[in-house]
Structure 1
């Protein structure tokens, strides 16, 4: 049997992102989302989510977008001269002190928990947790809070399973850009054997803030259209593929 988790990254990035994700959760096949708790729009987006009956969410751990939730002097190796995170992993990793990264990510967890939502799972912006050093830090945080963690590559998956951290059997980031089509999404789901699959998505309504902050913008509306389409709902039902959430992930 195939079980499918469809997660939307970047909740709270902009108003348009959050609005689109809530629509896909309420009206489409989206099963989970992860919030960028450090972004200015995040807390407002969470309050809107609560009003829509959403009581749980994942956390999109972030070190390469926006500003830290920690005091800048506590995480100075993570930020540029303007106090903002470096936008690229190579810029960050060449300067980053791992202990400061751990402090910031723990503070992001605490900021999320203060919202009152239940934490279901963790992933990370630009997949920072699949790299040596960061992998161990984020895995330890997932274990501490007894939540699932995305496996963006096989090395990370093996590490998580070895350390008793829940993750999916398979993961795909291929529903993206020019590959964000309903035909390709069907192919992605079909190619995996039985088990639990996570597919990363980025549905949104495109607004000016999104265009200014992200290089990936216009295709997000295409993703939203696909994830709320009757065609996809019917196909999943016909193929007897069960939609589940990270909260249902078994050990």
Structure 2
């Protein structure tokens, strides 16, 4: 192995979104955390597989993760009648942030997201950050304020979703009392993590003191996953990349420190 470089002070979080969406995705994420480059994950608490997935994480020695706050997948944790402004006629969430009515009730949103956090905490896992499914936190300024308020209330870091919005960019970085990374790296037009892109991110920041998050969607695909999302085979590609020993060796050679949100 090449000599490890000492000059780099870059810290890198590699977060796996959608823990619990299916058991096979959860299994893949845990494998990537134990044997690969994944340093953190965030759970879809309203998934029917959350309880089994959380127990599986604890059994594997994973004690902390984030909540993937969600208003766009499946059904709410609360009764649909309690959150009528953010569900459709069938009582399910709208599938995209842009479909959530702009007249949504902020109190209902806050209550549902808080219920997701409390359900997570009841599992025995430790909450180490908040992030959001489909970047729903940057739907508008009010939504971002709600998530920021919850990050303060639970005293945990949150993802730099504001980087995804020209109108809201910098809001989290400037907010008092909220810990976060310096940068969230991802390309919405890129359905999978590409090795050339991944190495490019490391090249860009490796000689800086930046704390960077790369978010992906690793996991194992199956028919159940196909029934609930269009992002299926791409997850196995992400997992393969993050399990690549040569890529891990490259990260180590550059002196980049792998961390989780627990270390912010």
Shift of 1:175: 8.4
Q: Aligned residue for 1:203?
A: 218
Q: Aligned residue for 1:66?
A: 74
Shift of 1:178: 5.4
Distance 1:175 1:190, change over 3 A: farther
Counterpart-to-counterpart distance in 2, 1:29 and 1:207 = 23
Aligned residues of 1:77 and 1:96 also touching (Cα < 8 A): yes
Unaligned runs of 5+ in 2: 1-8
Shift of 1:169: 0.7
Aligned residues of 2:173 and 2:182 also touching (Cα < 8 A): no
Distance 1:8 1:156, change over 3 A: same
Shift of 1:180: 2.0
Distance 1:247 1:5, change over 3 A: same
Aligned runs of 1:101-250 on 2, under 5 Å? 101-130=109-138, 131-154=140-163, 155-174=168-187, 177=190, 180-192=193-205, 193-249=208-264
Does structure 1 residue 47 correspond to structure 2 residue 55? yes
Shift of 1:227: 0.4
Shift of 1:179: 5.2
Aligned residues of 1:135 and 1:156 also touching (Cα < 8 A): no
Unaligned runs of 5+ in 1: none
How big is the alpha-carbon RMSD for the aligned residues of Structure 1 and Structure 2? 1.5
Aligned residues of 1:175 and 1:199 also touching (Cα < 8 A): no
Counterpart-to-counterpart distance in 2, 1:61 and 1:178 = 21
